[in-house]
Structure 1
Amino acid sequence: MLDAVDFSKIRYFRRVELDDEATGNTYPGSIVKSLKDFQPDAINVGDLEVSVDEALAFLKKFLRLTHCDLFFADAAILVEGAVEKLLLPKMIDLAAGGLNTKYITILEVGGAYSMRFAKLLEFLGIPYLVITDIDSVDPNNNRKGCKATDAGAVTSNASIKYFFDGSALVSDLTAKADADHIQADNMRFVSYQKKIEIEYGGAVHGFHGRTLEEVFVYENHGLFSSGALSIGKDIPADATEFHQVVWERIKSSTFKKTEFAMDVLAHEPDDDDASWVVPEYVAVGLRWLEGRVGDQPVAGEQNA
């Protein structure tokens, strides 16, 4: 349909529950959204400036080429890249199996583009989860990538700054409560890495990954220490060394992210091996989305 007609001629039908105030009964119905009435916001975040016309042209091209199924989805998940997209179906199985009964479209959009879909998804009434990276950088060292635990670290992720009104300090972002991540009148949840406390070497230590791959290793360190999974480096027994080795390895140019994801998917636990766990920041977002599109409609609505 998108190939055959102009974007503005699309009509989107969404199922809703209609309340009859006179009788107190509820009836199934539909509302119709005309894409002719849709207009995105201009974006101005840091050095990124996108006009209304540019934003609309991007959406038209993206949806026509790759994701016209968005119009038929119960919900959408916007992810950074190939690793997230590869691992997400298994993560849903492990953390939010109820989503398997819904049609979920997964959009691979990177960290700089997810905010471009916000107004369209909200216009259509499609709940969505954004899973993105904190991408910590040192503002005093030419914005060079740094560990998320470094003092004064800020995020370079334009979407995070957009969704959190310009907040950039990693320490401020990691201190936000789960409720702060629920936005746009319960239509959006934004997930990114936060500081976690895990037992390592017989004591509890704090770790904070800047990417999915990094935090995955921290939260599944037992599998990497035993050799069941590997990042191509020996895993130190000391927690501080472990943090440094993982951070340096994940950000190196020789680390193959897609191969890492495939190895994780191929891992089959045996009697001595546990299965891997879903990073907490991803699991929290998936559980929110599971509840949001569950069998009980939220705010009297159900997407079509």
Structure 2
Amino acid sequence: MKIKNIKVENYRLLKSFKIDLEDELSLVIGKNNCGKTSFLSILERFLIKDENSFSFDDFNIEYQQELKTLIKDPDTPEDFYYGLNMTLEIHYDENDDLTNISSIMLNLEPDTNVVVLAFHYAMEYEGFVRLKKDFKLFVKEGGRDDITYFLMKNHKNGYFQIQKKAVDFDNTDNTELISDKNLIRRIINFQRIGAKRDVKNEGGETSKSDRTLSKMSSRYYDKISNSEDDEDNTKELKKKLNETDEKLNIVYEKVFQRIVDKVGRFGGLVKGDSIIEVKSTLEEKNILKENTSVMYRHNGKQLLPEDYNGLGYMNLIAMIFEIEVILYDFKKEKQTNKVQEIPADINLLFIEEPEAHTHPQMQYVFIKNIKDVLIEGTLTKGGANINLQTVISTHSSHIVAESDFNDIKYLFKQNPYEVKIRSLKELEKDYKNNGEIENFNFLKKYLTLNRAELFFSEKAVFIEGDTERLLLPAMMKKLDIERKDWNKANGIVPLLSQNISVIEVGGAYANIFEKFIDFLGVKSLIITDIDSCKKVKVLKGGKVLQTKKGKDKEKLQKCPVDIGQETTNSTLNYFYGKPSISDLQKKQFENKTFNKVITKKGKTKEWVENKEGNLSVIYQIDEYGYNARSFEDAFINLNLYFLKSNKKVFKSLQKKKKLNENNFYEIAENCLKGKTVFALDILYYSDDKFEDWFIPEYIKEGLLWLQN
């Protein structure tokens, strides 16, 4: 039995949200404030808390505005409904125990193996009629004519009710209220490990408040103390404590003799009433809680207190303790009043941001081992496995890089009021349907090895190679300095203060990322080269070779832009439909932005030109009467004086006499020993504000577009 998916409606940014859960582990990722904590919160409120813990602020902001229209409508239909919703779709098979879900199986068709649980925090007809009446009176008595403000103050006055229902999978009108709150807990046991874990490192002498791990050892013991797996060990501990009690009693009699004698002087109503004895009553739970220290061995020799450890290790150890405690709780191995409880049908564990305080290597170790730890922990004393599904939310690119790609669920803001979620499985399917599964496999390798931080970026720049990678941050800084006052006056965030990932993909591979760019849904800039070429005859022995059809054989040859006919750049050919060099030169910047939309055929999505598009693909343009072919060519066109001024110290320059010929194409082709060392020379010999050289206009246009 598994939760197949969870749907959420109208809750904070989760306006219309659906997440498919994996059978074992789902990794929920995304930037800050994109709904990960909200998803955890609504699970907690519907599956754990009995009381009404919702506020009107929990309603999606756009959905709140809809209420303003509804409140002004004089008519209220009897089927009126306004509320937060969460739906769990649960799939089962013939091997599952159906005892708990049998009462909510509203569809008994043999081919249907689905039950649906629906949770609502809703206002229906009677509540809305009363709300309208109360709000009208509120305004009449001088209150603000704002239903949102009124409900923020008064929404718990009985207008909304929490409802839990079973729903027919094939007929959503067929529902049944669930009055037994324990039934849902027998079906789903939900536990969480929150991001705000109680680990601290005060340094110095260990105090009671610091001993988080020691306290957790007590919690762990409490869970295992009635487990048959540890019965021999716990019996041994109790036996040793009893022996210690007997020894302490002998000592106590001596230590407390004076006070016992003084108490005895006061007598009592009956002789011997005031005779007391001090006895040792050590309890294993309390002695672990108050008198146990978790130590760690430093360099394999000296024992040190737990708070001498770094916060990262403490956080990791605390999580392992807590996971183990929760797994025992899931397995119900602790008896209650001599009665052995039965594990829930589904055990759902949510681990929030396990990376807290941990360095990258520890994050790698965590995600590589967590699946095995969870699987091992599901085995019960009877030999069967409990049904466990785990959700981990993270901001860590290191955890993503080491995770199973198919486990990833990517959250992103579709607009300021709504979050959507996408699965990497969907992306794989998209590539596969287009016969590009090899491209997907390349993308998966590239992201996991190099650039998993893309998932957490607000914006992205895809570049050709080392030159742009080294110089782009300098260009961003240069623009930020030049436009400091303008940015401040217009409330524009400087480029280097924005969350922008720079990804090196090469001219031949940028188009492979196009589906991933659409998948991410972030503003993206592709910077590439125009790569002009011309057609030339293929010669052999001074003669032109012929095709089988008797035509002259031709090939494409690299050439300056002013005599170029076509581009060999695969990215430009992909996005601009195999354009001629002349076509590319005619395009203005507004013709270089795209959105991916479903075509008129309605089956596939294609990139189409759109002035408001979220993707821009840029290349070299005419500057001062010259159109460069490459970045180096464009930079030399604008900054030849800078090169000449530093020709004695630039390690990248050769054939330096050619600098006087002012042939920028030839200089780029023949005077540079290497592109990387050229970029390093530019950085090394620039002034602090990069005022001694200019940014090529095509890059400047792209960066300013990306900034806004």
TM norm. shorter chain > 0.5: yes
What CA distance in whole angstroms lies between the structure 1 residues aligned with 2:617 and 2:503?
Answer: 14
What CA distance in whole angstroms lies between the structure 1 residues aligned with 2:707 and 2:447?
Answer: 24
Q: Please give the per-residue CA displacement for 1:260-291, whole angstroms capped at 9, x wherever unaligned.
A: 10110012349xx9511111111000011001
What CA distance in whole angstroms lies between the structure 1 residues aligned with 2:459 and 2:480?
Answer: 14
Contact kept in structure 2, 1:194 and 1:208, CA below 8 Å: yes
Q: Percent identity?
A: 32
2:408 — aligned with what?
Answer: 10
1:192 — aligned with what?
Answer: 619
Q: Please give the per-residue CA displacement for 1:5-42, whole angstroms capped at 9, x wherever unaligned.
A: 43222011123556xxxxxxxxx543222222224458
2:504 is equivalent to residue 86 of structure 1: no
2:287 — aligned with what?
Answer: none
2:453 — aligned with what?
Answer: 69
**Does the C-alpha gap of structure 1 residues 53 and 134 become closer, same or farther in structure 2, counting only changes over 3 Å?**
same
Q: Match of 1:59, SS?
A: helix
1:24 — aligned with what?
Answer: none
2:174 is equivalent to residue 174 of structure 1: no
1:208 — aligned with what?
Answer: 627
What CA distance in whole angstroms lies between the structure 2 residues aligned with 1:183 and 1:262?
Answer: 33
1:302 — aligned with what?
Answer: none
- After superposing on structure 2, the runs of 4+ consecutive aligned residues of structure 1 that deviate more than 6 Å are none
2:545 is equivalent to residue 149 of structure 1: no
What CA distance in whole angstroms lies between the structure 2 residues aligned with 1:274 and 1:76?
Answer: 26
2:665 — aligned with what?
Answer: 247
Q: Match of 1:189, SS?
A: strand
Contact kept in structure 2, 1:146 and 1:153, CA below 8 Å: no
What CA distance in whole angstroms lies between the structure 1 residues aligned with 2:480 and 2:536?
Answer: 40
User: How much has 1:140 moved relative to structure 2?
Assistant: 2.4
Q: Which protein has the bigger helix share?
A: 2
Residue type at the aligned position of 1:83: T
- Unaligned 5+ segments in structure 1 are 19-27, 44-49, 198-205, 292-304
What CA distance in whole angstroms lies between the structure 1 residues aligned with 2:702 and 2:530?
Answer: 15
What CA distance in whole angstroms lies between the structure 2 residues aligned with 1:42 and 1:163?
Answer: 20
What CA distance in whole angstroms lies between the structure 2 residues aligned with 1:157 and 1:42?
Answer: 24
What CA distance in whole angstroms lies between the structure 2 residues aligned with 1:131 and 1:96?
Answer: 19
User: How much has 1:191 moved relative to structure 2?
Assistant: 1.0
User: How much has 1:95 moved relative to structure 2?
Assistant: 2.6
Q: Match of 1:171, SS?
A: helix
CA RMSD of aligned residues (A): 2.6
2:675 — aligned with what?
Answer: 257
What CA distance in whole angstroms lies between the structure 2 residues aligned with 1:281 and 1:264?
Answer: 19
Matches within 5 A, 1:1-304: 1-17=399-415, 28-38=417-427, 39-41=429-431, 51-95=435-479, 98-140=494-536, 142-150=555-563, 152-167=564-579, 169-184=580-595, 186-197=613-624, 206-227=625-646, 231-232=653-654, 233-234=656-657, 241-243=661-663, 246-252=664-670, 255-269=673-687, 275-291=692-708
Residue type at the aligned position of 1:188: L
Q: Please give the per-residue CA displacement for 1:98-121, whole angstroms capped at 9, x wherever unaligned.
A: 221211111111101111111112
1:201 — aligned with what?
Answer: none
**Does the C-alpha gap of structure 1 residues 102 and 225 become closer, same or farther in structure 2, counting only changes over 3 Å?**
same
**Does the C-alpha gap of structure 1 residues 87 and 3 become closer, same or farther in structure 2, counting only changes over 3 Å?**
closer
What CA distance in whole angstroms lies between the structure 2 residues aligned with 1:32 and 1:146?
Answer: 46
What CA distance in whole angstroms lies between the structure 2 residues aligned with 1:61 and 1:280?
Answer: 34
Q: Please give the per-residue CA displacement for 1:70-117, whole angstroms capped at 9, x wherever unaligned.
A: 100111111000010000000111235722121111111110111111
What CA distance in whole angstroms lies between the structure 2 residues aligned with 1:130 and 1:183?
Answer: 11
2:243 — aligned with what?
Answer: none
Residue type at the aligned position of 2:412: R
Q: Match of 1:149, SS?
A: helix
What count of residue pairs does the alignment treat as equivalent? 259
What CA distance in whole angstroms lies between the structure 2 residues aligned with 1:282 and 1:112?
Answer: 19
Residue type at the aligned position of 2:422: K
Residue type at the aligned position of 1:155: T
Contact kept in structure 1, 2:409 and 2:422, CA below 8 Å: yes
Residue type at the aligned position of 1:208: N
Contact kept in structure 2, 1:40 and 1:55, CA below 8 Å: no
1:21 — aligned with what?
Answer: none
Larger Rg: 2
